Amino acid sequence: MDDRRVFERIPVRFPVKLWDIHANKISEAEVEDISARGVGFTSSEDLALGASLGMWLEIPDNGEHLYTQGAVAWSRSVGQDKYRIGVELVKPELMGMSRVLRTERNFI
């Protein structure tokens, strides 16, 4: 499978709170990588392709959580009750993402 991403993925590790907007369900996951257009995380719950998500990224820079929205672009099982999920951001919050880039070296 070809990787057609325009923006580089940055490896990170921090929590994210997820809100499945249509199911009105809140869950938690761990972000594993992030880019200007997407977020990759591991979750104990599989999310439907195309599901609309609200996400509160808990960036460990002593700032407020970064809220953003996206849609599930892909999901695959990586173990029992463990899923790797990719979300394409609807309106990338580039100023907020700059917080990730400034502190990224402290994440992993």
Helix (H) or strand (E) segment spanning residue 99:
helix 94-103
Please report, for the chain, the start and end positions of each structural domain, with discontinuous segments joined by +.
Answer: 10-101
Q: Which amino acid is at 10?
A: I
Which residue in 73, 22, 11, 20 sits closest to 45, CA to CA? 20
- 3 pLDDT above the threshold of 70: no
What is the second-level CATH architecture of the domain 10-101?
A: Beta Barrel (2.40)
pLDDT at 60 over 60: yes
In the predicted structure, residue 108 carries a pLDDT above the cut 50: no
Q: Residue by residue, what is the 3-state secondary structure of 28-40?
A: EEEEEEECCCEEE
pLDDT value at 95 more than 80: no
Contact, 72 vs 53, CB < 8 A? yes
CA-CA distance, 108 to 6, in Å (whole number)?
23
